[in-house]
C-alpha cells in the first residue's frame, strides 16, 4: 500500500472519529469497518479518503443540479412569454377581423 503522510492520516482520523464508537465494557474502539486486512489504520485511511472524494463529487453534483434548475426555470419563463406573445397576436388578428 502506498505510504501516506502521517499528518493526513491524523487529520482524517480526527475528522471521522465520531464514526468510531467506544465499546461498552472497556475503552477499546469497536471497528465498524472490519475487513480482511490486519492494518486497521490503512483501512480507515482508504475509507475516509473515499468519503472525502464522495463529498467533492456531491458538491459537483449539487452545482450541476442547480444549473439544471436554473435552465428549467428560464425555459419555462421563455415558453410562457412565447404563449403570451402568440395570444396577443391572435387577439390583434381577431380585433382586425371584427373591424
CB 31 within 8 A of CB 21: no
Please report, for residues 50, 56, 58, 60, 78, the alpha-carbon distance to residue 64 in angstroms, rounded to integers and kept in the order given. Answer: 21, 13, 10, 6, 21
What is the chain's mean pLDDT, rounded? 77
pTM across the whole model:
0.47
pLDDT at 27: 46
State the Cα–Cα distance between residues 29 and 42, nearest whole angstrom.
Answer: 16
Please report, for residues 8, 9, 41, 51, the alpha-carbon distance to residue 4 in angstroms, rounded to integers and kept in the order given. Answer: 7, 7, 11, 16
pLDDT at 73: 96
pLDDT confidence tier of residue 3, bands split at 50, 70 and 90: low
Encode pLDDT of 57-77 as tens digits.
888 888 999 999 999 999 999
> Cell for 21?
464508537
Q: For the chain, which residues make up each domain, given as ranges?
A: 6-72
pLDDT at 1: 45
pLDDT confidence tier of residue 51, bands split at 50, 70 and 90: confident
pLDDT at 82: 97
Amino acid at each position: 500500500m502506498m505510504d501516506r503522510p502521517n499528518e493526513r492520516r491524523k487529520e482524517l482520523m480526527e475528522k471521522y472519529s465520531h464514526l468510531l464508537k467506544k465499546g461498552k465494557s472497556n475503552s477499546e474502539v469497536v471497528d465498524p469497518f472490519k475487513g480482511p486486512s490486519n492494518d486497521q489504520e490503512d483501512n480507515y485511511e482508504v475509507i475516509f479518503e473515499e468519503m472525502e472524494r464522495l463529498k467533492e463529487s456531491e458538491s459537483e453534483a449539487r452545482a450541476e443540479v442547480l444549473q439544471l434548475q436554473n435552465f428549467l426555470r428560464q425555459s419555462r419563463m421563455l415558453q410562457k412569454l412565447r404563449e403570451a406573445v402568440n395570444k396577443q397576436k391572435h387577439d390583434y388578428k381577431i380585433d382586425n377581423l371584427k373591424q
